[in-house]
Structure 1
Amino acid sequence: MNTKGLIPKTWRLLKRIFLILFIGQFVYIVLLKWIDPPVTLTQLGSLFTGHGLKRDYVNYNEISPNLKLAVISSEDQLFADHSGFDWKSIEKAMAYNKRKPNRTHGASTISQQVAKNVFLWQGRDYIRKGLEVYFTFMIEKIWGKRRIMDVYLNVIEMGDGIFGAEKAAQVYFNKPAKNLTRREAAMIAACLPNPKVFKVKPPHVHILSRYPVIMRQMNNLDSDDDILAIISTGSKN
């Protein structure tokens, strides 16, 4: 068997495959600026592990500003100001994890959570984290904050097999997401760290203790012009 030319041919093939994959993922990122993700690995994982897949994608203007403010208050209060990464929180989390390796503490921004949930799989391996950095950077540059929030509120898990604001609002409060009150929005936001465990209905003890804190944080942030520009209705980018 002649192996002399095999290595160059294999290398050329690998380069072509890499180029196709690179172009493909870039085109997909650009397309998702305007269209909703057809499905995510997290959603498929929920479906195939018996947790179900219940979701209803809706337009950004059909989601209450209360919920947008609630998730910013709960998950990422610097969302309007950072470029995808909250470096101070990351440093604190790394220091905490070094002190207590058996109790991992995360510091993911909303942008990072979108990158992970839309493009990647769940886990903490270095390959996934590296890809998360790349996709976070790309969506910040290509999508902008409002689109990131739009996708976040449509794909994030908000209960056991419940994905997105519209389905969560219908299941928990029997109303569309655009009509969520501040209290209801804060209760949904309170479940996000662990939506399979922190039940909104009937409310888990974590929800009952956490949502009043989120409401106070909402009161502190609802006069911030940068945040108001993100959570308001309308077509402004």
Structure 2
Amino acid sequence: MRLVTGLLLCAAVGLAAIGLFWLLAMPDVSALRTTNPTITALIEARQAQAKEQGRSIGRHWVWVPLSRISPYLRQAVVAAEDASFFSHEGFDWEGLKDAALYDLEKGELKRGGSTITQQLAKNLYLSSERSLFRKAHEALITRSLEQHLSKDRILELYLNVAEWGNGIYGAEAASRHHFMKPARDLSADEAAWLAAMLPAPRRYDPLRKTTALTRRHERILRRMSRVSTRPVTR
């Protein structure tokens, strides 16, 4: 009996310590209401990888407000990454269930089922490791982002920090790099190509239209008409 009590006490202390660590490690996401990040965990990780490999990597990153990003790109990204973005509170439970069943079947953490808010949490603050600990931390940050920020602000942040090629971050840099035009001038077709890149932005290139990329582009174009984006007046 004493052994069981001791084990339960140790487990409780351990969980409390983990909870305290997470609370202390939680970023102040409320600052993102009015302040744009100057660096992200993803950018730092890419720079560290390049340094380890003995090479340099540029950083092309131009911040623009949501009102200066083509509504087609907003539609395309929501259609491709998180169709229920404007209606959920940070988590797509059906997607998470499907991902969990897949991972359970395969016996490893492979699929994410991540929403745009979850991806933003990971890009801004977390490593790319696949672990339950990291996913739990991501969930806490996701909830905090949804509580403190509007949907438009979350989408604005995501579109400005997403990776779109080697050293290419954000919609403006991506549009100028791949299509030689500002993000506000992207057509529906061009927007769908950029959205199609997002699962593997360092592998895909809209100028090299592989079969897989083309199929994803076509699916996104079909879905875009079913996705509404609210007008932005800033």
Alignment TM-score > 0.5, same fold: yes
Pairwise CA distance, 1:102: 6.2
Percent identity reads 34
Amino acid of the residue matched to residue 182 of structure 2? P
Q: Deviations over 1:142-181 (max 9, x none)?
A: 0121010000000010112211000000000000000000
| 1:133 matched residue in structure 2 | 139
| 2:100 matched residue in structure 1 | 94
Aligned length: 209
Q: For 1:108 and 1:173, how far apart are their aligned partners in 2?
A: 28
Amino acid of the residue matched to residue 75 of structure 1? E
| 1:9 matched residue in structure 2 | none
Task: Give yes or no for contact 1:154–1:164 (8 Å, CA) kept in 2.
Answer: yes
Q: Equivalent residue of 1:46, what SS?
A: helix
Q: Does 1:61 align with 2:60?
A: no
Query: TM (normalized to structure 2)?
Result: 0.83
Q: For 1:30 and 1:103, how far apart are their aligned partners in 2?
A: 30
Tell me the C-alpha RMSD between the 2 structures. Answer: 2.0
Decide whether aligned partners of structure 1 residues 192 and 44 sit closer, same or farther in structure 2, where only a CA change above 3 A counts. same
Decide whether aligned partners of structure 1 residues 103 and 34 sit closer, same or farther in structure 2, where only a CA change above 3 A counts. closer
* Unmatched tracts of structure 2, length 5 or more: 1-16, 51-56
* Unmatched tracts of structure 1, length 5 or more: 1-14, 222-226
Task: Give yes or no for contact 1:46–1:53 (8 Å, CA) kept in 2.
Answer: no
Q: Deviations over 1:113-137 (max 9, x none)?
A: 0011112121112221111011100
Q: Equivalent residue of 1:183, what SS?
A: helix
Amino acid of the residue matched to residue 181 of structure 1? S
Q: Does 1:173 align with 2:179?
A: yes
Task: Give yes or no for contact 2:45–2:127 (8 Å, CA) kept in 1.
Answer: no
| 2:36 matched residue in structure 1 | 36
Task: Give yes or no for contact 1:73–1:214 (8 Å, CA) kept in 2.
Answer: yes
Q: Does 1:234 align with 2:215?
A: no
| 1:123 matched residue in structure 2 | 129
Q: For 1:84 and 1:45, how far apart are their aligned partners in 2?
A: 24
Decide whether aligned partners of structure 1 residues 203 and 103 sit closer, same or farther in structure 2, where only a CA change above 3 A counts. farther
Q: Does 1:201 align with 2:200?
A: no
Q: Deviations over 1:23-61 (max 9, x none)?
A: x855x3111111111101110122232343221111111
